[in-house]
Homo-oligomer: A and B are copies of this chain.
């Protein structure tokens, strides 16, 4: 029977999911992580806090899948029934784990609080379960084997789930399902090419090597490239992984922002801080978004000296020293104005670098000569000033996001000594829309 089982089911439990009160991003996280082990998700299911519904789905899942990942319902309240229902469905008695009771008690003690009686139930597990520690919350998780399938129950709170999946569940799955093969994987973050273009650039890499597979995930405006490497031993898997990553880096060049989950704003802020660079920002069409993204990273006060949101011509003239004659002759969305904004804010702030944006985010304000989506980005630096014109998509909030991302990317390229991208950048047209 187990021969016919394949892939993984992901089951999330909670009435709040079925009332649409929150968007359930746990399932996409878990699916992505499973792909790093080459395990395919075949079904996602959400049910409410209802024992009959949970039991029905558990039985179906165990009949069809090799792995069942469950999140939610491990809390202390009366609605949290996942553990009890799993135990009952598969005829396992619940056993209290004294070590986990103590851990939960210490967790509350560290917060200066008493553990309530309810919380003790979080130390109950089906007999024989493999307990998964939760370093950042009260709910431990657990794994049990049922009929040749492995079930892992994890908390629904994302930061607890993410950590338990990465630190506890993935290593166990790797041991369980990769006995003849070691799997190693990595994510490369790219900005500048759409998913189909990336696929065209890289498809032959997985065709050429039996142990390599390549996948994509969109996180607008970035595209993530996932490289999975399988080999009989770890050294071989890592060697092949790094060989392919090097090849991807050499094919894609400067559009690779880095490895892992770090966003561009974090990468840039850390580069600026590490190199003791200082920056000032003058924003028209991005309306403060570049400054806001830079200040999302702790410690950004070390590099961001000054930001100006110069939506009006008056502000551009008075606060940035833009020439009224150039505003008149070329318009606010123009090469000379962008350059003067960047140079002006740099000088005012006494910063090493000045970055500026001016454009037409939409939906109004476009013309034949300068349609919605026209954006100028300019950089002022000790080595000279640069400006480029880009043609972005045609929807306001994405135009703003893209223009801010290009501004941040210019800072990254400047600090790393890379070329600034030409007018055809970014080529994201085929990027899949986030749902």
Chain A interface (Cβ within 8 Å of chain B)? 16-35, 40-48, 50, 53, 57, 156-158, 215-218, 281, 283, 286-292, 294-296, 298-301, 304-312, 314-315, 318-319, 348-350, 361-364, 396-397, 400, 432-435
Contacts and interface: CB of A to CB of B under 8 A. Distances in A.
Contacts of A33: 20
Given A42-B53, A292-B287, A364-B299, A435 B310 contact: no
A287 B294 contact: yes
B312 A301 contact: yes
Given A24-B28, A27-B46, 11 more contacts: A22-B28, A22-B434, A42-B53, A156-B435, A298-B363, A300-B311, A301-B311, A304-B312, A305-B315, A306-B311, A306-B319
B281 A20 contact: no
B435 A23 contact: yes
A42 B53 CA distance: 9
Contacts of A294: 287
A376 to B, nearest CB: 17
Contacts of A19: 31-32, 35, 41, 215, 217
Nearest to A44: B46
Given A47-B43, A287-B291, A292-B287, A20 B217 contact: yes
B28 A20 contact: yes
A20 B43 contact: no
Contact of A397 (B44, B216, B290, B296): B296
A306 B301 contact: no
- Listed residue (A20, A283, A301) with the most chain B CB atoms within 10 angstroms of its CB: A20
A333 to B, nearest CB: 12
Contacts of A295: 287-289, 309, 311, 361, 400
A29 B20 contact: yes
B53 A22 contact: no
14 contacts: A20-B27, A20-B33, A20-B217, A42-B47, A43-B45, A44-B44, A45-B45, A281-B309, A283-B291, A288-B307, A304-B311, A304-B312, A319-B319, A319-B348
Contacts of A287: 291-292, 294-296, 300, 304, 307
A296 B218 CA distance: 23
A22 B18 CA distance: 19
A158 B435 contact: yes
Contacts of A218: 21-22
B53 A48 contact: no
Nearest to A304: B311
Nearest to A71: B435
Given A287-B291, A291-B309, A311-B300, A24 B435 contact: yes
A287 B292 CA distance: 5
Given A287-B294, A298-B363, A400-B295, A42 B18 contact: yes
A308 B311 contact: no
A158 B433 contact: yes
B42 A20 contact: no
Nearest to A158: B435
A411 to B, nearest CB: 15
Contacts of A396: 296, 298
Contacts of A29: 20
Contacts of A318: 348
Given A29-B20, A287-B291, A306 B309 contact: yes
- Listed residue (A21, A29, A44, A218) with the most chain B CB atoms within 10 angstroms of its CB: A21
